[in-house]
Structures are given as structure tokens and as C-alpha cells.
Amino acid sequence: MTDPNECEVQAMANASDRAGEYIDSLGKTDMATWSEEEWTRFIEVVCGGYVDRLCELQAQVNAALEKARAA
């Protein structure tokens, strides 16, 4: 990603945190030893963490916009 914006940086940080938690839960840091299921779950965790944070940030923007329009 070239020049990520602040939202993307936050989303990547969230994805990274979740990835670390998942890897810790596996107890296996060598990805070459992961099963197909473990790898697939890892991808789901990373992508989900990224998208979840973007959605949270958008919800915050939407709430602020609604508040401003109501004022």
C-alpha cells in the first residue's frame, strides 16, 4: 500500500494485533508447519481485523456527521 491514510494505518495496526493474538493462540510461529485450516483462519483474522477497524472508524464518522446535522 502506497502512502496509507490514518484510517488504513489504524486498520493495519488492528489486523496486526489480531494476527499476533492468533499466532500466540496456535503456539506455532513457523507458518510452514501450519495446516491449511490454520492458514485459512489466519487470513480470516488478518482481513477481518483490517475491515472491522475500517467499519468502526466509518461508524464514528457517521455518528459525528449525524450529530452535526442535528445541531
The alpha carbon torsion through 28, 11, 53, 41 (nearest 10 deg) reads -30
Given pLDDT bands bounded at 50, 70 and 90, which one contains residue 51?
Answer: very high
pLDDT for 11 beyond 90: yes
Return the DSSP state at 27.
T
The reported pTM is 0.87
Residue type, 48: G
